[in-house]
Amino acid sequence: MSRAALLVLADGRFPAGGHAHSGGAEPAVAAGRIKDAHSLEDFCRGRLHTAGLVAAALAAATAAGRDPVAVDEAADARTPVLALRITARKLGRQMMRAARATWPSAELDALAAARPQGAHQPVVLGLAARSAGLTPLDAGYAAAYEAVSGPATAAVRLLSLDPFDATAVLARLAPDLDQTATAAAATAARISDEGFDALPAASAPLLDITAQQHATWPVRLFAS
Amino acid sequence: MHRDHDEAFPERRTYSAADPVRRDGRRRALRIGLGGPVGTGKTATVAALCRALRDELSIAVVTNDIYTREDAEFLLREAVLPAERIAAVETGACPHTAIRDDISANLGAVEDLEETAGPLDLVLVESGGDNLTATFSKGLVDAQIFVIDVAGGDDIPRKGGPGVTTADLLVINKTDLAPYVGSDLEAMARDAKAQRGHLPVAFTSLTTDDGIKPVTDWIRERLTDWSAGPA
């Protein structure tokens, strides 16, 4: 394995469709809940410890070799909102396309065949990490970072926020990212004893509600 | 970029433009990208192409709207194609990213259209309105058209840029407006020739009957070349 593969996978320019999604930042900006770097940081921290933690744990579990279809079902159970299930599968399909081209593997092919319209994105991300020879902790890091880098990039476009400020927000979240990725890898390791109930089910109700509302907006910059 | 392996699952073949042949051995649809600045007539060109070619070819369209679904809805409203032959991709405020740097959403849309409306002969991928540097990835399309218009200033061909200079066909649209906006068509043709060398330029006015003909002629030639390629 090469640890550097994590840099490739977590790069915001990895061509897996993330650029068209705001991770809930667009409705939060419209509602005035994100209006500057400070409120962006609060939003990102909240998303990281809820949706981000769940995504990181799903990615870590898949990277650890758990049956991806079973993890995908666990992802469905932890995604109550239809709009977010659709988004997760759409992004999963795009991630699958990029992953099969960059780190081809029989496991990726098998999941693509089992879920032709896309598995949940964190599951595909975890399997991509596994195909790249990365660890469950690495997969947790990639998923956790994506949970905050997406909204931060979107906020720059939505608010014309100073890009240096937005990047500083991400840097300040580094200890939280360490904590989330480590917790995700730890829960993934407990699945053999406790089953999939070991995976976290943290939720952010406002993210869920506004995601469903955002899906009906006729004019928007981001797909989600 | 794209690497397929031999034993994989035919139901999930992911044809990038690098793979000209379907798994069943037939050539896949020719994919043509249409890019260009906002308001030059990309969607009107797509609509005119669909009307001119839909009786002889199986066509589908992917639109890349910047912040609405207006382009897809325009094509639906004009009924140039049935709804199942039109797909809209959302681009997160970055139209050039979706056609060049991260083509995954567009490839997914092409794949869906092949599945629901295929087999297709021609897929038109329309970019959201962008700037003079917007170009399509070779992983997404086989050839690209760049659409500018006479009203945007007759110095655009002279300014060049990747779209004007390298597109397989440069369309200069709205020639009927030239007298009203003081654009010199001969100078535009001369400048385009200087920028593009042997690459073709088509002057169009979509308000006249069959005004799209220079573009349909060009597409027919591309289709003939495409079909003649190795199966």
Residues of B in contact with A101 (CB under 8 A): 1-3, 14, 16
Contact A218 B68 (CB under 8 A): yes
Q: Quote the pLDDT of residue A2.
A: 87
Segments in chain A below pLDDT 50: none
Range of the domain at A82: 21-214
Q: Quote the pLDDT of residue B12.
A: 40
Contact B12 A16 (CB under 8 A): no
* CA max distance for chain A: 48
Does some domain include residue A1?
no
Does some domain include residue A98?
yes
Contact B102 A17 (CB under 8 A): yes
Contact A222 B102 (CB under 8 A): no
Cα B120 to its chain centre, rounded Å, is: 15
Does some domain include residue A12?
no
Residues of B marked as binding?
36-43
Contact (CB, 8 A) for B101 and B164: no
Name which of B66, B98, B104 is nearest A98 (Cβ-Cβ).
B104
Kindly give the residue spans of alpha helices, DSSP state H, lying in chain A: 5-10, 25-30, 37-47, 53-63, 68-77, 82-102, 106-114, 121-131, 136-159, 163-172, 174-194, 205-214
Residues of B marked as binding for GTP?
36-43
Structure tokens at B57: 């070819």
Q: Quote the pLDDT of residue B74.
A: 86
Query: How close is the nearest chain B Cα to the Cα of A98, in Å?
Result: 7
Does some domain include residue A206?
yes
Q: Which amino acid is at A42?
A: D
Q: Quote the pLDDT of residue B5.
A: 46
Residue for token pair 């962006």: A40
Which backbone phi and psi does B135 adopt, to 5 degrees?
-135, 155
Q: Quote the pLDDT of residue B176.
A: 96
Q: Quote the pLDDT of residue B188.
A: 96
Does some domain include residue A222?
no
Give the sign of the dihedral formed by CA A96, CA A98, CA A99, CA A103. Answer: positive
Does some domain include residue A59?
yes
Cis-peptide, bond into residue B119, ω within 30° of zero: yes
Q: How far is CA B30 from CA A186, B2, B52, B216, B221, in A?
A: 49, 18, 17, 14, 12
Task: Give the residue from chain B lying closest to A110, CA to CA.
Answer: B9
Segments in chain B below pLDDT 50: 1, 4-15
Domain ranges of chain B: 28-227
Question: CA A221 to CA B90: how far, in whole Å?
Answer: 8
Name which of A15, A222, A223 is nearest B104 (Cβ-Cβ).
A15
Does some domain include residue A79?
yes
Residues of B in contact with A18 (CB under 8 A): 102
Listed by number, the residues of chain A in 13-32 with a beta carbon closer than 8 Å to a beta carbon of chain B are 13, 15-22
Q: Quote the pLDDT of residue B209.
A: 86
B28-227 adopts what CATH topology? Rossmann fold (3.40.50)
Name which of A20, A104, A219 is nearest B91 (Cβ-Cβ).
A20
Question: CA B102 to CA B98: how far, in whole Å?
Answer: 5
Does some domain include residue A176?
yes
Q: What is the pLDDT of residues B178-192, one digit of tens each?
A: 999 999 999 999 999
Q: What is the pLDDT of residues A11-52, one digit of tens each?
A: 999 999 999 999 999 999 999 999 999 999 999 999 999 999
Contact (CB, 8 A) for A5 and A88: no
Among B104, B152, B98, smallest CA distance to B128 is for: B98
Among A4, A12, A17, A23, smallest CA distance to A147 is for: A23
Q: How many domains does chain A have?
A: 1
Contact B101 A15 (CB under 8 A): yes
Calculate ∠ Cα A53-A115-A92, nearest 5°: 40
Q: Quote the pLDDT of residue B16.
A: 57
User: What ipTM goes with this model?
Assistant: 0.88
Contact B12 A157 (CB under 8 A): no
Q: Quote the pLDDT of residue B165.
A: 94
CATH number reported for the structural domain that contains residue A77 in this entry: 1.10.4190.10
Query: What b/e readout covers B139-175, taking b as 16+ CB neighbours within 10 angstroms?
Result: bbbbbbbbbbbbbbebebbeebbebbbebbbbbbbbb
